[in-house]
Structure 1
Amino acid sequence: MNTPSPSSASSAPTDPGRPAEGGHQGLARSLGHGQMAMIAMGSALGTGLFLGSGQAIGIAGPAVIISFALGSLIAASVALAMGEMASRHPVRGGFGTLAARYLSPFWGYLSRWLYWIVTVSVTGAELVACAAYLSYWVPAIPIWAGIILFAAVILGINLSSVGSFGAVEFVLSSIKVIAVFVFIVIGLVLVFFGMPSAPALGLVELTADGGFAPMGWAPVWIALSVVMFSFGGIELLSITAAEAKDPARSIRTAARTTIVRLAFFYVFCIGIVLCLVPWREAADIEDDVATSPFVMVFDRIGIPGAADITNLLVLIAALSAANANLYAGSRMIHSLASDGLAPRFAAYTTARRVPVVGIALSCIGLVGAALLAFSGVGGVFGYMMSLVVFAVIMVWALILATYIRFRRSGITGGTFRMPGGILAAALGMVGLLAVFATIAVRPSMQIAALVGVPAVLAATVLYVVVGRRRIDPGDIQDAFDEAESMR
C-alpha cells in the first residue's frame, strides 16, 4: 500500500463543523490538554489497580511488583508511539484510522472493531466493580441493580456535550489521582514510621511468607496477563485527539505525563499494599470483589472511617473508568460509521456534536454485565477482564506495527518523538508477545481466546464479504484532511 504524502493530507481541508454525508456532523473540538490527560488516566486508573490487583498478587506474590514495572514499560512504548503519531495526525478514530492509512484498510477496520469490543467489555467490568463497591455498604442491593444505577449515571454524562463530559471526567479523575497520591504518602508513613496504634512494619512482609517470589519467577510472567488490564485505557490519548482544542500541545503533554503517573502509581501502590498486608490475605480477595487491597489496608490499621473513604474513592475510580470507556466506544464506532465500516446511521451526532447512536450501541457492555450478574454467573469480572487483556494485546500490537510503518515512511511534523523509535516499538512488541503467550498456562486467558479468536475470524469474514466493498478511500482521507486543517 502506498502511503500518501503529508502534503496530500492538506490539499482539501474541510470544515469540522460542516454537516457530513448522511446528515450528521463532525465531532466538536472542545477538550483542553488537562482534560485529555485526565480522560486517559480516568480509563487506565480503575479497577485494574484497586480491584484486579488481588488476582495478580495471588499469582506472583510480592514479586508482582516486578510484573507491574514490566507492564508499565510495555504500556509506555505503546503510549509514546501512539502519542507521536497522534501529534502529527489528530484524526477521528485515532490509532484505527492511522492503521488504515499506514498498514491497510483491513487492519484499520480490525483494530477499531477490536477496540470497540475492549471498551464495551471494560465498561461492563467497571460497572460490576462499582456495584460490588456499593455492596460494601449496602449488601442487600443486588449487583445487577447497582449496575443499572451506575449505568444511568454515566449515560447522562456521556449524552451531554463533549466539553461537559471532559469537565466531569476531569473532576472524577482528579479525585482519584489525588486520592492515590494521598494513599502513597500515608502508606509510606505507615511502612517506615508507623502510628501510635500501628507500629512501622517496614519491608518485612515482602519476604515474610516464602520469600519475595514464593512461587518462583515464572509467575511474574504469568501475572502480566492480569497486570496489563491495569494499563488498558492509554489508547484514549489517540482517540481524544479528534476533539482536542490544541491537539499538538495536548497530546505532547498527555503522552509524556500519563504513563509516568501510571507507572508511579501502580508500582508504589502495590508495593505499599504488600508491605502492610500479608500477600496471601491480599490475594484472598480474588473471590470477593466487594473489597479491595486498599480497603483492607485501612481496615487492618483501624483508622476510623478510613476504609469507608477508601471504598468511596475506589468506587469513583471505577465509575470514572466506565465513563471514559463508554466515551471511547462511542467515538470508535462513530469513526467506523464515518468510514463506511459500520452502519452509516451510527455516525449521526446531535446538535451538540455528541454521537448518540454510538453511545447507544456501546451500551452493549452495560446490558451484558447486568444480565450476567442477574443470571448469577460467577466470576463475571474475571472473565471480562481476561477478554479485555486478549483484545488489548492485539490492538496494542497493531499500534506498534503502525508506528514502525509510520517511522519508516519518513513522515515528520509531530510535536515530539518516542525515545528509541523503532527499536523501542520492537521491544514493546516482544513484551506483548510474552503476555499473549500466557494463554498456554492461564485458563481464563484460554476462555478469552475461545471468545476472542472466533470474534476476530468473524470480523475478518465480514470485512471480506461486506466491508471492503463499502470502503471509500475518500472517507479516510477526509479524516486526515480535517485533522490537518486543525494542526
Structure 2
Amino acid sequence: MTTSTTDTDHHQDRHLARSLGHGQMAMIAMGSALGTGLFLGSGEAIGIAGPAVILSFAIGSLIAATIALAMGEMASRHPVRGGFGTLAARYLSPFWGYLSRWLYWIVTVCVTGAELVACAAYLAYWVPAIPIWAGILIFAAVIIAINLSSVGSFGVIEFFLSSIKVIAVFVFILVGAVLVFVGLPSQPAAGIVELTADGGFAPMGWGAVWLALSVVMFSFGGIELLSITAAEAKDPARSIRTAARTTIVRLAFFYVAAIGIVLCLVPWQQAAGAREDVATSPFVMVFDRVGIPGAAHVTNLLVLVAALSAANANLYAGSRILHSLASDGLAPRIAAATTARKVPMVGIVASSVGLIGAAVLAFSGVGGVFNYMMSLVVFAVLMVWALILVTYVAYRRRGITGATFRMPGGSVTAAVGLFGLLAVFATVTVSSSMQIAALVGGPAVVLATVLYFTVLRGRIDPAHIDEAFDEAESMR
C-alpha cells in the first residue's frame, strides 16, 4: 500500500499547471520570435539581397506559417507535454521524438546564453562600469527567478515584455508610414524611390532573395513555443487556435512592414552597414530622421527588452523540453519532478547551468567554441522545423479528428513548407555559415543517434508517452 501511494504521489508531482491564457500563449511565442534580429540584425539580410530582401521576409513568413499552423492543428488535438517532440514520438517513432527534443533543448540553451550576453552589452551601453560578466549574472538571476515563481507569473511577465516590443514595432511602422506616404511639415513624403535607387530593387540579382533566406528564416525562430505551451494552457483548444493564427500574422506583418519602412527611408547600402550595433541600427537611423531625441537610447531600451524577453521564453522552453524527456525516460528522472507550484525546478536549474556555460563561451570566445554552438543551433532549428512538418503529414494520414481548426491545404501545404525548408538548407552550397552549420550539425546528429541506440532506447516506456496523451485528452 505504501509503495502504491508513493508511486501515485510521484505521478502527481510530474504534472504541470494549466495557467496560461490564449493571449499569454501568443505573446510567449512572439517573445521568442520577435527578438533583436529585427531591431539590429536586419542589416545582414539587407546586405545580401538589397531592397529585394522584402521578398525574402515574405517568403520566410509563408514557410513559418506552415510550421505554426501545422503545430497549432496537432497541439489543439493533443496539448501534450513536450509539444512537437512528444507528437513526433507518437506519430513517427520514439527516436525522432528523442532527437527533436534534445536538439531543441540545445537550441534553447545556446540562444538563451547569447541573449544574456546581449542584455549585458546593452546594459553596459548605459553603465559601462558594470562588467559584461556581472550583467550576465544579473539578468540570469532575473529570468531564473521569473521561471521558478509559477507558470502564471511567467505568463504575465512575458506578456508584459512582449507587449512592449509589439507596441514599439507598431508605433515604428505607423510613424514610418507617415514619413513615407504623407510626410511632415518640415519634410516631404519620402515615397518608395529608395526601393529602386542604387542598383534597382534587386541589385544583387534575384538569386540573392533565396540566399538571404538563410539569414531571414531564423528571425522566425521561437514559433515552436506554441506547441510547448499547449501543455500549460487553461483552454488548449481555444488558446492554440487563436495563438497559431495571430502569431504568424503579426510576425509576418511586423517583419515585412518594418523592413519595408526602413528601406523606404534609409538607402539600402547604409542600412546594410548596421551590424549588431545600437548606434548604427536601422531603427536609430529612422528615429533620427523623425527627430526623436535620444533615438539610440530608445532603441537600446527596445533591444534590451527584446533580448530579455527572448531569454526568458527560451529558458521556459528548455525546462519544459527537459521535463518531457525525463518523463519519457530519456533524461534523468529527477528532471520530471515539479514543485508545489507545478514548476519543473530541476529542468530550470539544469537549463540555467547550460545557458550560463553558453554565455561564458560567448563572452570569452574561447577557441571560437560558441560560434560552433550557434552553428549547431542553425542546423537544429531547421531539422526540428522539418520534423514538425513530417510529423504533421503522418498525423493527417492517420485521419485524426477533433482538432479545433485545420491548416488550409493540409498535407499539401506541409509539403510546400518542407520544400521551402529544403530550399533554405540548399544555401549550404553557397553560404559559408550554412556550410559550417552542416559540418557541426551532421556529426552531432550522428552522435545523438549512436547514444540513443546504444544506451537510451531500452529506457523508453511507451506507457509514459501514452500517459501524456491520455492526460492531454482529459484536459481538452
- TM-score, shorter chain, exceeding 0.5: yes
Q: What TM-score bracket applies, with the shorter chain setting the length?
A: over 0.9
Q: Alpha-carbon deviations, 1:456-487, whole Å to 9, x = none?
A: 11111110011110000001000001001101
- The superposition leaves residues 164-219 of structure 1 with CA deviations (integer Å, 9 ceiling, x where unpaired) of 00011111111111111111101111112223444422112212221111111111
**Equivalence map 1:262-411=2 (5 Å):** 262-286=251-275, 288=277, 291-376=280-365, 386-411=375-400
Question: 1:34 and 2:31 equivalent?
Answer: no
- 8 Å CA contact 1:123–1:365 kept in 2: the answer is no
Computed over aligned residues only, the root mean square deviation of the Cα atoms, in angstroms, reads 2.1
User: How far did residue 418 of structure 1 move?
Assistant: 0.3
Q: Does the 8 Å CA contact 2:165/2:302 hold for their aligned counterparts?
A: yes
Residue 167 (structure 2) aligned to one of 178, 191, 212? 178
Matched, 1:223 2:212: yes
Partner of 1:43: 32
Secondary structure of 2:304's match?
A: helix
Matches within 5 A, 1:188-267: 188-267=177-256
1:289 CA drift (Å): 6.1
Instruction: Specify the code of the residue in structure 1 equivalent to 2:432.
Output: P
> Is 2:95 aligned against 1:113?
no
Deviations 1:285-305 (A, max 9, x none): 226466532123213443213
198-207 vs 288-297, which deviates more?
288-297
Residues 99, 455 of structure 1: alpha-carbon distance in 2 compared, 3 angstrom cutoff? same
C-alpha contact (below 8 Å) 1:46/1:126 kept by paired residues:
no
- 1:124 positional shift: 1.8
Distance, in Å, in 1 between the alignment partners of 2:184 and 2:64 is 36
* Residue number in structure 2 paired with 1:424: 413
**Offset of residue 142 of structure 1:** 4.1
Distance 1:299 1:450 in 2: 42
1:79 paired with 2:103, answer: no
Between the two proteins, the alignment pairs up a number of residues equal to 470
Give how far 1:90 is off.
0.4
1:294-321 deviations in Å (ceiling 9; x for gaps):
1232134432134322321222112111
Counterpart in 2 of 1:456?
445
Which amino acid letter does the alignment assign opposite residue 320 of structure 1?
A: S
- Consecutive unaligned residues of structure 2, counting only runs of 5 or more, are 1-6
Moved more, 423-432 or 32-41: 32-41
Structure-1 separation of matches of 2:35 and 2:18: 26
Q: 1:169 aligns with which of 150, 158, 163?
A: 158
CA distance in 1, matches of 2:403, 2:119: 39
Indicate if the aligned counterparts of 2:32 and 2:222 stay in contact, CA closer than 8 A: yes
Residues 134 and 54 of structure 1, relative CA distance in 2, 3 Å threshold: farther
CA distance in 2, matches of 1:384, 1:280: 30
Question: Which amino acid counterpart does residue 413 of structure 1 have in structure 2?
Answer: G
Matched, 1:469 2:458: yes
- Cα shift at 1:145: 3.3
Taking the TM superposition and a 5 Å limit, the aligned residue runs for 1:115-130 are 115-130=104-119
Which region of structure 1 is more displaced relative to structure 2, 341-350 or 395-404? 341-350
- C-alpha deviation, 1:385, in angstroms: 5.3
| Conservation of the 8 A alpha-carbon contact between 1:131 and 1:144 | yes
Match of 1:7 in 2: none
What CA distance in whole angstroms lies between the structure 1 residues aligned with 2:259 and 2:354?
28
Distance in 2 (CA, whole Å) between partners of 1:215 and 1:142 is 41
Question: In the alignment, which residue of structure 2 is the partner of 1:155?
Answer: 144
Q: What letter corresponds to residue 407 of structure 1 in structure 2? A: R
SS of the aligned residue for 1:216 comes to coil
2-structure distance, mates of 1:216, 1:76: 26
Among candidates 435, 442, 448, match of residue 446 of structure 1: 435
What is the CA deviation profile of residues 32-65 of structure 1, one whole-angstrom value per residue up to 9, with x for unaligned ones?
1111111111111112222221211111111111
In structure 2, the CA distance between the partners of 1:143 and 1:295, relative to structure 1 (3 Å rule), is: farther
**What is aligned with 2:41?**
52
Shift of residue 135, structure 1, vs aligned partner: 3.6
- Contact kept? 2:177, 2:261, Cα under 8 Å: yes
Identity among equivalent pairs (%): 81
Deviation for aligned residue 1:384:
5.9
Q: Deviations over 1:254-304 (max 9, x none)?
A: 111110011000000011111112222222222646653212321344321
Deviates more, 1:82-91 or 1:48-57: 48-57
TM-score by length of 2: 0.94
User: 2:181 is matched by which residue type in structure 1?
Assistant: F
Residue 311 of structure 2 aligns with an amino acid whose one-letter code is A
Please give the TM-score of this superposition, normalised by the length of structure 1.
0.92
1:139–1:221 distance in 2 versus 1, CA, 3 Å: farther
Residue 134, structure 1, aligned to residue 134, structure 2:
no
The 10-residue stretch of structure 1 (360-369 or 377-386) with the greater mean CA deviation from structure 2: 377-386
Q: Secondary structure at the match of 1:363?
A: helix
CA deviations over 1:52-82 (Å, ceiling 9, x no partner) = 2121111111111111000000000010011
Aligned in 2, Cα 1:108/1:46: closer, same or farther, shift over 3 Å?
same
Query: 2:374 and 2:269 mapped to 1: Cα distance?
Result: 21
Once structures 1 and 2 are overlaid, which stretch shifts more, 446-455 or 414-423? 446-455
Q: Does the CA contact (< 8 Å) of 2:13 and 2:337 recur in 1?
A: yes
Q: Give distance in 2, aligned partners of 1:156 and 1:355.
A: 13
CA distance in 1, matches of 2:285, 2:109: 29
Distance in 2, matches of 1:32 and 1:122, equals 25
1:411-449 Cα shifts (integer Å, max 9, x gaps): 100000000101000000000000111122221222222
Counterpart-to-counterpart distance in 2, 1:216 and 1:53: 19
Could you tell me whether the CA contact under 8 Å between 1:133 and 1:290 is conserved in 2? no
Q: 1:81 to 1:229 in 2, by over 3 A?
A: same
- Look up the equivalent residue of 2:274 and give its one-letter code: I
8 A contact 1:120–1:326 mirrored in 2: yes
Report how far residue 334 of structure 1 moved: 0.4
The answer to whether the 8 A contact 1:225-1:389 is kept is no
Separation (CA, whole Å) in 2 of partners of 1:120 and 1:132: 19
